[in-house]
Structure 1
Amino acid sequence: MNVLVVNAGSSSLKLRVLGEDDAVLAETTVERWSGGDETGPLQDFLGDAPAVDVVGHRVVHGGSAFTGATVIDDDVRAGVEALTGLAPLHQPRALAGIDAARRLLPGLPQVACFDTAFHTTMPAAATTYAVPAAWRRKWDLRRYGFHGLSHAYASRHAAALAGRPGARVVSCHLGSGASLAAVAGGRSVDTTMGFTPLAGLVMGTRSGDVDPGLLIWLQRAGLALDDLEDGLEHRSGLAGLSEVGGDLRDVRKAADDGDERAVLALQVYVHRLRQGIAAMTASLGGIDVLVFTGGVGEHDAVLRAETAEGLAFLGIDLDTGRNTEAAADGRVSRDGSAVDVRVVEAREDVEIAAQTRALVNDTDRRKR
C-alpha cells in the first residue's frame, strides 16, 4: 500500500510517498506555501510520483474530539476547522492540504493523524490545570501536548534500537518548535507543551513557560493583546534572548564571537532543557533511554553534550567521539552508561503512514 503523506506546516508543504517497508518513493518540499485553494504543488508532485492508495495528513490539533487517526469526511473536516483557534498557524494549512488532496484524489481514503492524539494517554494529574473548575468545564481547558507524531516514532524507534521495547524513554523533539515527552512502554505519560504549543521549553521564537502573572501585569501596563500574542509567538525564545534570531546555529555563532546576549540565550535554552528532561524523568520514575530528534536534536552535538553534562546524576554519560560523529539512529552514550542515549532522525511521515495503513486496513476488515 503506497501512502501519500501530506505534512502541511505553518509556511511549507512536505509531500512524500512511502511504499512497502516505508521506502521513500518520491518526495518534495514546497517552501513558502501559502495554502488557500492551491492545488498546483500537489498536482505537480502527483504527476511524477508513483500511484498512491491512501492519503495521510498531519493535523496539529485534535482537541478532545479526535484521539486517534480518523477517516476524513465532511463532518471530520468541520471538526478540524472548529479547532483553528487553538492552533491558528497550523490548522488552516492542514485544512488546505486536506482540501487539495480531496479535490485531486476524490476516490481515495483520506486520513487525519493528530499530533495531540499520542498524548491522550496522559493521566489526569498530568493534563489538569489548577484553575477554576467552571473554566475547565466551559472551555475544555487541559494540557493537550504536541509533536505527538514525532515523539511516538522517536520513542518507539529508540527503545527498539536500545533493545528495550518497554523502556522508560524521554524524547526530545528539538527544532524551531521544541518539546519533551515522557513515554513508558510506548505510552505518553507527560509532556512539556500544554493547551497550546507555546508552553514548555524555550524555542526558536516562542517563549515557552512564562509566569502567567507577568502576562497579566504586561496587559495592565498597557501592552495590547495582539502585541502580547505576537511577542510570545514570534519575538521571544532564542530570538528574544539573543536579538540575533531564532536559528540556534546563528545564535551559537554569535556566542562564539563573544556576543553576551547570545551566550545568555544558549545558557537559558540549555538550563530549561535540562530542567525539562529531569522533570520528565520524575514523571516516569526513572529513565532508560534518552532520544534526541528534530533539526537541532539531530545535528547539534555541542547542545547534546551541554545537556548531558548537567544530567550525569541521572546516569547519562555521553561518549565524546560518538556524539561528535553521530549519524541517524546512532548511539551516543558510552558503553556501560545507565541510560542509552540515541540520535534518531525525525520521521513523522513513517508514523503517519503506519497510522493511516492501520486504520484503512481495519476499516476494510470491518466492511467484509
Structure 2
Amino acid sequence: MNILVINAGSSSIKYQLIDMNTELPLASGLVERIGLEEGVVKHKTFVNGEENKITESFPIPDHAVGLKRVAELLTDEKVGVISDPSEIKAVGHRLVHGGESFTDTVVITDEVKAKVKELFPLAPLHNPANLVGVEVAEKVFPNATQVGVFDTAFHQTIPEKAFRYALPQKFYNEMRIRKYGFHGTSHKFISEKAIEYLGNKDAKVITIHLGNGASMAAVKGGVCVDTTMGMGPLGGLIMGTRSGDIDPAIIFYLTQQKGFTADEVADLLNKESGMKGLTGFTDMRDVEGNFVNGDPVAVLAINMYVYRIKQYIGSYAAAMNGVDAIVFTAGVGENKTPVRRMVCEDMTYLGIEWDAEKDKIRDKDVNEINTDGAKTKVLIIPTNEELEIAKQSMELIK
C-alpha cells in the first residue's frame, strides 16, 4: 500500500510517498515559492538503495500546479516510482489545528472541511493552507482516500487542570481559549518508540522536540498529560524566531506605553524573537558555532535556551511524579550539539546522567546516551512525522 503524505504551507508543499509494506519512502520532495515569479520543485526518489535528485524551476502560480507536477514526477516513465496515481491508496494531510473538535485521525469529508474552516482563527497561518492542500489533492488524486492528521490531537488527553487558563469562564465556554499544544505527531511517534524501547507500557517519558519550532510533552503510559505550547505555537521553549514564554505585561507595556500595534507585537514575538532576537541568527548551527568560539551573546542565548528546557523537565517530572526517560528529537535534538550535554548537567537529582562517548554513536532507531546504571534513560530518537501520518492513515482505511 502506497500512502502520500502532504504538508501544505501558504507557499509550499512538502510531500513524501511511502511504501507501507516496508515503511520506507519511495519519493519525497518540496514545492516552494508558490505564487511567486519563479517556483521550485525539489524531488528525490529512492530506488534499490539509490537516491536520485531532480530540481526544477518554473512558474507555480498555485498549489494545484505544484501538486499536479508532483503527480507527474511520481508517474514519469524515466524517474517515476509508480505507474499511475491510482496506486496511491490514501493521502495523509498534516492539519495543524483541530481544536476540541478532532481528537483523532479522520477521513476528510465536507463536514470535516467545514469544521477546519471554523478553526481558521485559531491557526490563521496554517489551517487555510492545510485546507488548500486537501482540496487540491482531492482533484489530483481522486481515487485516494483523503485523511486528516491533526497536530493537536495527541494533546487532547491533557486534563482540564493543565489545559485551562485562569481567565473568566466565558473565555473558555464561548471562545474555547485553552491550551491545545502542537508537534503532536512527533511527540506521539517518539514517545511510542521510547515506551517500546523501555519495555514498560506505564513509562513516564518527557519528549523534547527541538527544531526551529520547539516543544516538550509529558507522556505517562502513552497518554499526553501536558505540553509546552498553548493555544498557539508561541508559548513554552525559546525557538528560532519565537520568544516562548514571556510575562504578558510586556505586551501591555509595548502597546500602551511604547505605541506598538497588536500586529507589530505579534510579528515581534513570532518572527523577530527567540534565537533571532537574541543573536541575529535563526539557525542553531550558527549560534552554536559562535558559542564554541566563546561569543558572549551566543553563550547567553544557549544558556537561556537550555535553562528553559531544564525548567520544563523539572515541571513535568513533578506532574508525573517521576520520569523514566527524556527523549531528544528533531534537528537540534538529534544532531551534533552542546545542548544535550548542557540539559543533562546538574540533573542527577532526577537520575539524569549524560555519557559523552555514547552521544557520538548513531547506529540504532533508539540511541541511549545516559551513563551505565543511570536511573533515568536519556535517548535520542529521530522523529518521522511523515511515517506517523502514513501509519495513522493506513490504520484508518484498512
Question: Once the two structures are superposed, what CA deviation does each residue of 1:314-338 show, in whole Å capped at 9, x if it has no partner?
Answer: 1011111111334552111122111
CA distance change for structure 1 residues 136 and 311 in 2, over 3 Å: closer, same or farther?
same
CA distance change for structure 1 residues 273 and 36 in 2, over 3 Å: closer, same or farther?
farther
2:355 matched residue in structure 1: 319
Alignment of 1:1-368 (within 5 A): 1-9=1-9, 12-19=12-19, 20-33=21-34, 37-47=62-72, 48=74, 49-50=81-82, 51-221=87-257, 222-242=259-279, 244-327=280-363, 328-361=365-398
Matches of 2:11 and 2:205 in 1, distance apart?
A: 31
Matches of 1:122 and 1:36 in 2, distance apart?
A: 41
Displacement of 1:67 = 1.3
Q: Which amino acid aligns with 1:26?
A: A
After TM superposition, where is structure 1 displaced by more than 6 Å over at least 4 residues in a row?
A: none
Displacement of 1:10 = 5.9
Would you say how many aligned residue pairs link Structure 1 and Structure 2? 360
Whether contact under 8 Å (2:217, 2:227) holds in the other structure is yes
Matches of 1:322 and 1:127 in 2, distance apart?
A: 37
CA distance change for structure 1 residues 277 and 8 in 2, over 3 Å: closer, same or farther?
farther
2:49 matched residue in structure 1: none
Partner-residue secondary structure (3-state), 2:92: strand
Partner-residue secondary structure (3-state), 1:216: helix
Displacement of 1:263 = 1.5
Matches of 1:317 and 1:265 in 2, distance apart?
A: 23
Whether contact under 8 Å (1:36, 1:96) holds in the other structure is no
Structure 2 unaligned runs (5+)?
36-59, 75-80
Structure 1 unaligned runs (5+)?
362-368
Q: What is the TM-score normalised by the length of structure 1?
A: 0.93
CA distance change for structure 1 residues 23 and 130 in 2, over 3 Å: closer, same or farther?
same
Q: Which amino acid aligns with 1:30?
A: V
Whether contact under 8 Å (1:301, 1:324) holds in the other structure is no
Question: Once the two structures are superposed, what CA deviation does each residue of 1:23-72 show, in whole Å capped at 9, x if it has no partner?
Answer: 21221123444598322332233232432111110111001111111111
CA distance change for structure 1 residues 333 and 165 in 2, over 3 Å: closer, same or farther?
same
Matches of 1:322 and 1:215 in 2, distance apart?
A: 44
Q: Which has the higher strand share?
A: 2
Partner-residue secondary structure (3-state), 1:292: strand
Q: Which amino acid aligns with 1:240?
A: G
2:43 matched residue in structure 1: none
Q: Which amino acid aligns with 1:22?
A: E
1:364 matched residue in structure 2: none
Q: Which amino acid aligns with 2:27?
A: A
1:366 matched residue in structure 2: none
Partner-residue secondary structure (3-state), 1:13: strand
Q: Which amino acid aligns with 1:41?
A: G
Deviates more, 1:128-137 or 1:147-156: 128-137
Matches of 1:30 and 1:298 in 2, distance apart?
A: 25
Q: Which has the higher helix share?
A: 1
User: Greater RCO between the two (CA within 8 Å, min separation 6)?
Assistant: 1
Deviates more, 1:99-108 or 1:173-182: 99-108
Deviates more, 1:278-287 or 1:4-13: 4-13
Identity %: 42
Deviates more, 1:24-33 or 1:245-254: 24-33
Question: Once the two structures are superposed, what CA deviation does each residue of 1:83-109 show, in whole Å capped at 9, x if it has no partner?
Answer: 222222222221221122111012221
